Structure formats: C-alpha cells, structure tokens
Amino acid sequence: MKKNQGSRFGGRARLVLPLLMLGILLFTNASPSQGAHPPPQDDDAHPPRNPKLDSYLANVAAAAEESVGEALSAAESGSLRISGDRVHVQVVTHQAGWEGAVQAMTEARGEVTGVGFGDTLIQGWLPVDALEPVAAEEDVYFIRRPIRAFPLESLYVGNSTTEGLSVINATAWHTAGHTGSGVKIGVIDGGFIGYRGLLGSDLPASVTVRNFVDGEDDAQVDGTTEHGTACVEIVSRSLTTLPPLQKSIWPRWPPIWIWLRRSTG
C-alpha cells in the first residue's frame, strides 16, 4: 500500500514540474505585451539636430523643411532677428577659411556685415532655408545667434541730480579746475532710449549719433536700453563737450573706431 501511494505522489510531482515550467514560460512571453518594455522608437520621428547649428537655429532649419513661413514663425518664436526671409547669424570659422565661409554665405543669398576676432567670426544674414547648406561647408565650424546684451534692471535717466558724479568723484576734480574742457569722448553702448527728450536739459542741445547695428538706421539708436543714455548723462556733466553717441553690437568694431576717430579728432 505504501508503495502504491508513493507512486501516486511521484506521478503528481512529475506532472507539477512541467506545469510550473510552462507557467514561467507563459509569464515571460507575456511580459513584453504587458508594457514592461516600450516598443522601439522610429528614429525618423525625431531626427538628430545639426551639431553645427545652435538649438534655436536648428529649430528654424527643421521648420524650413516644411516651408519658409514655418521657419520664419520658428525664428520669431525664438526671438531671433529677421529681415525678409533671412535670419541674423554669426558664423564661426577659422582664419585660413574665412573667405570660403563668406563665399558660402553670399552664394546662399546671404549678406555679410562684418568679420572679426582675427577673421574667425562672421556676422550677417542667412535665408532660413540656407542654414543647413551653409553649415555643411567645411570652413564653417558653427552657426549661432549673435550675442546680445540685456540690462538686468531698469535704469533711471533724466534726473536733475546725477548720482554717477559722486561715484566717480567728479566734484573734487571740478573744484581742482579739471573740467574736461576740450576733451572729446565717444560713448559706445547697446542703446540710448530717451536721449532725445533730454537734449537741452540733462544733455546738451545737440549730439552726433551713429547706429552700427545690422538692419537698423541712425533713428533707431533711441531704443533697446537706457544704459547708454545714463552713461552719456554722467559724461555730459563731467565734461564740457558732449561726445558722439554710437549704438553697436559686435563685430563691426573697425567702422566704429574709424568714425569715432573722425568725429572726435
């Protein structure tokens, strides 16, 4: 009797083991369908960005594949400067290849407005649909948005009392007879908001103005920031001759220095 009973238990044990293994196999095979591992992604759905374009321009270039209008909307959303169908850019190159980079920009219907930093940085405008082709040129290392200066806080200009005079100890110099008579100093800044309303009061009645910012004229020097106006206000109270005003964003330094030398010389 015990032998027969052991045979029955042994048969059940042999039956349970295959069933257990089958359950493990079924559970393992069912795991992927239950979401344990996400399905493979389509690489074409998220194509890699061009490493030679900054993130903002890469978005513009990607939108240009749809249409120029989409690209311009992307540029506007990224607060990029736009002129027609072109966007404001700086192209990083190398000293021996700047001419090739300039040629690539002009052949793409772009415009070069300045070259600087030892012929390694070019500023200008490129059509939104030309970003990828120009970036593919061997002499082009990188294309980015031009670096712009932004004031961290609002400035107060036009006050009857200029606090800057005490900071630079101008009163002591004036008392000692050093008034700056005959000295001319040029002020280069990112903007001169409100300077027109101060002519003849906090500022002298007339000034000489020149704007070197790409895509702007001299009338637009009254914009962007009050920082330049505040600086000129301090200078005008420190000197007897008000300097010329220039609004500029690098890299157009050589023309600025030439004009400044001629205006103050």
- For residues 53 and 135, state if they share a domain: yes
* Interval 195-220 mean pLDDT: 81
- Judge whether 232 and 184 are in contact, CB under 8 Å: no
Final residue in a domain of this structure, among 144, 175, 199: 144
Report the run of H or E that residue 56 belongs to, with start and end. helix 55-64
Residue type, 205: A
Residue 143: predicted pLDDT: 97
Q: Is 36 within the bounds of a domain?
A: no
Q: When comparing pLDDT for 76 and 196, which is higher?
A: 76
* Judgement on whether residues 123 and 179 belong to the same structural domain of the protein: no
pLDDT at residue 259 tops 80? no
Residues 86-121, buried b or exposed e (16+ Cβ, 10 A)?
bbbbbbebeeebbeebbebbeebebbbbbbbeebbb
pLDDT level of residue 254 (50, 70, 90 thresholds) = very low
Q: Does 12 or 138 have the greater pLDDT score?
A: 138
**Number of structural domains the chain divides into:** 2
Domain that holds residue 189: 164-264
Q: Decide which of 172 and 68 is more confident.
A: 68
The length of the chain is 265
pLDDT-based confidence at residue 100 (cuts at 50, 70, 90): very high
Mean pLDDT of 246-256: 46
Question: How confident is residue 15, by pLDDT bands cut at 50, 70 and 90?
Answer: very low
Structural contact between residues 186 and 264, judged by C-beta atoms closer than 8 angstroms? yes
168 and 260 belong to one structural domain: yes
Confidence band of 70 (pLDDT split at 50, 70, 90): very high
Instruction: Assess whether 133 and 209 both reside in one domain.
Output: no
Give me the chain's average pLDDT, please. 76
DSSP H or E run through 113? strand 111-116
pLDDT of residue 30: 46
Tell me: do 63 and 103 sit in the same domain. Answer: yes
| CATH number for the domain that contains residue 105 | 3.30.70.80
